[in-house]
Amino acid sequence: NKVMETVKYQFADGRQAQKDHVQTANFTQHGVQDLVTKTIVWAPSDPQTFVSVDTPKIIGYTADIQNVPAVTVNFGDEDIIKVVTYKANDQLAGIKYIDDTTGKTLDTEAASGKFGTRIEFMRDPSSMIQKFEGQGYKFKSNSFNGQKYQADNSKNQFEVHFTHGTQNVSRTNKVMETVKYQFADGRQAQ
């Protein structure tokens, strides 16, 4: 007789997350048969124990069962199947719009989602860049390009940099010098 314990590891959508962990207990039962009546009297067999199994870690996911405990089985027991389900962790992201000329932050936005999914901000960064360009800023760089949430929230932080836009301008100015000639009493002399 054989009794098996199978621990299945899967994601919440049913996809396999890790290879199954299988333990097998093989039993041999001894008995004595009466050769006239053909009846057999079976001697009890010793139980066997499946060791406890720690759930493997998967970055960005949390398992609903951290450890499948040890279990003792006997001859004739049913096979055991345990299912460990991994759910994606909640993650946070942020984006900053920075004026490099003054060093000031122009705007910020936060977002949240599940590990491994695409980060989406409520205000599209491309639209925000156009908005600031319309205010005279010159786009310099953008570290966000539709990335997915990482397990380390510090890797979900992005920056868009601007400088002040400039243009060449000119102006003219006219300066006049006037010499007045007058007598001591204030009358115009010339």
Look at residue 190 and tell me whether its pLDDT is greater than 80.
no
Return the pLDDT at 175. Answer: 87
**Cβ 12 vs Cβ 19: under 8 Å:** no
Q: Which residues pair with 127 in a beta bridge?
A: none
- pLDDT above 70 covers what percent of the chain? 100
Q: Determine the Cα–Cα distance for residues 31 and 37; give it in Å rounded to an integer.
A: 14
Return the pLDDT at 116. Answer: 94
Return the pLDDT at 183. Answer: 84
Look at residue 126 and tell me whether its pLDDT is greater than 90.
yes
Return the pLDDT at 180. Answer: 84
Q: What is the mean pLDDT of the chain?
A: 94
Return the pLDDT at 117. Answer: 96
Instruction: Give the mean pLDDT of 22-36.
Output: 93
Return the pLDDT at 169. Answer: 87
Residue 103: band (very low, low, confident or very high) from pLDDT cuts 50, 70, 90: very high
pLDDT tens readout for residues 142-171: 999 999 999 999 999 999 999 998 888 888
pLDDT tens readout for residues 45-102: 999 999 999 999 999 999 999 999 999 999 999 999 999 999 999 999 999 999 999 9
Return the pLDDT at 78. Answer: 96
Return the pLDDT at 161. Answer: 98
Return the pLDDT at 84. Answer: 97
93 C-beta neighbours (distance < 10 Å), count: 22
Q: If 0-12 CB within 10 Å is exposed, 13-18 middle and 19+ buried, where does residue 36 land?
A: exposed
Q: Determine the Cα–Cα distance for residues 161 and 171; give it in Å rounded to an integer.
A: 31
